[in-house]
């Protein structure tokens, strides 16, 4: 069973700072999704990456997929309190189901 490891598990920074969170696997991803979950709600999809080396941007969020498709990163520029939440990466298995990492809990302090 492929294991997804996210790091760090917890991150607390000041508003305006930059940050990067990571998602790593023991083997190759078919494709990878990033979700954000806010308290009291279900996760919501941010992005899907499929091709090795792919970079996608969503406003201040930049997602990278490693060339070998075994890792991914999420970089946030000039973090804002509204970015606070649990960030989850998830591997698509067999196009049928998602296997999630344990998440990075991000807190942005005003």
Per CB under 8 A, the segment of 12-20, 35-43, 58-66, 67-75 that binds other proteins is 35-43
Q: Is 84 in the site for other proteins (CB under 8 A)?
A: no
Candidates 21, 103, 106, 108; binder of other proteins (CB under 8 A) is 103
Q: Is 96 in the site for other proteins (CB under 8 A)?
A: yes
Q: Is 43 in the site for other proteins (CB under 8 A)?
A: yes
DSSP-derived 3-state class of residue 96: coil
Q: Is 11 in the site for other proteins (CB under 8 A)?
A: no
Q: Is 45 in the site for other proteins (CB under 8 A)?
A: yes
Q: Are 33 and 20 in contact (CB under 8 A)?
A: no
DSSP-derived 3-state class of residue 83: helix
Nearer to other proteins, 40 or 110 (CB): 40
DSSP-derived 3-state class of residue 105: strand
Tokens of 1: 């069973």
Q: CA-CA distance, 35 to 98, in Å (whole number)?
A: 11
Shortest Å distance, C-beta 37 to other proteins: 8
* Count of residues near other proteins by CB under 8 A: 28
Count CB neighbours of 14 within 10 A.
9
Candidates 2, 12, 44, 67; binder of other proteins (CB under 8 A) is 44
Phi, psi torsion values for 99, nearest 5 degrees: -115, 120
């Amino acid at each position: 069973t492929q294991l997804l490891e996210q790091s760090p598990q917890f991150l607390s920074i000041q508003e305006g700072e930059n940050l990067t969170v990571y998602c790593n696997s023991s083997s190759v991803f078919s494709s990878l999704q990033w979700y954000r979950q806010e308290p009291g709600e279900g996760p919501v999809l941010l992005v899907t990456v499929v091709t090795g080396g792919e970079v996608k941007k969503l406003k201040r969020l930049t997602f990278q997929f490693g060339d070998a498709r075994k890792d991914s990163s999420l970089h946030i520029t000039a973090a804002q309190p509204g970015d606070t939440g649990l960030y989850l990466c998830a591997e698509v298995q067999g196009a049928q189901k998602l296997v999630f990492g344990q998440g990075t809990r991000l807190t942005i302090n005003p």
